[in-house]
Amino acid sequence: MRILGIDPGYATTGFGLLESDSAGVRLLQYGVVTTPKELAFPQRLEMLYDDVRRLVEVTKPDAAAVEELFWGHNITTGIGVSHGRGVILLALTKANVPVFEYTPMQVKQAVVGYGKAEKRQVIDMTRRLLRMEKPARPDDAADAIAIALCHARSQSSLLSRLHSEEKE
């Protein structure tokens, strides 16, 4: 299964592509989609939509794992990111990619084993689990890889549970 993890934003959207099968999980590709701040906000959203659609065409994921938003102190930024997330969800849905959504706490729990882990712990554990020489950069890409890894681990645990139930 090819899983496209997405850390949503409108200025910078991180992505990470994993391959998950019975042999394990492998990192295939990661990076960021950016929009220039000189553009008007609606044009940035249009560019984000087009770029995510192209990303889906190139990577051909079987599923997408998208982080749910955590509302921090800056509500203005949060609203913009919400718009970006909506555009990303639309692009994935229009491309017929099944979307799975995870909270930051679920991602931390799946990757580190502790739902209140610090960002650096998640990045380091992601690096270790995927046998990466160094942590992914920028942080948006590292976050997206962790989100994809969360889905891979969630799916494998669900599949193994279903498998054991079928044997009974």
Write down the pLDDT at residue 164: 46
Tell me whether residue 57 is one of the annotated catalytic residues: no
Nearest to 145 by CA among 45, 80, 67: 67
Count of C-beta atoms within a 10 Å radius of residue 92: 22
Residue among 38, 140, 143, 168 flagged as catalytic: 140
Which domains, and CATH codes, for the chain?
2-167 (3.30.420.10)
Residue among 7, 68, 166, 168 flagged as catalytic: 7
Tell me whether residue 139 is one of the annotated catalytic residues: no
56 and 4 Cβ atoms separated by less than 8 Å = yes
Residue among 50, 62, 67, 166 flagged as catalytic: 67
Q: How far is it, in rounded angstroms, from Cα 138 to Cα 30?
A: 10
Tell me whether residue 46 is one of the annotated catalytic residues: no
84 and 45 Cβ atoms separated by less than 8 Å = yes
Write down the pLDDT at residue 22: 86
pTM of the model as a whole: 0.89
What tens digit of pLDDT does each residue of 44-81 get? 999 999 999 999 999 999 999 999 976 565 566 678 88
What tens-digit pLDDT sequence spans the chain (168 residues)?
999 999 999 999 999 999 999 889 999 999 999 999 999 999 999 999 999 999 999 999 999 999 997 656 556 667 888 999 999 999 999 999 999 999 999 999 999 998 889 989 999 999 999 999 999 999 999 999 999 999 999 886 655 445 445 545
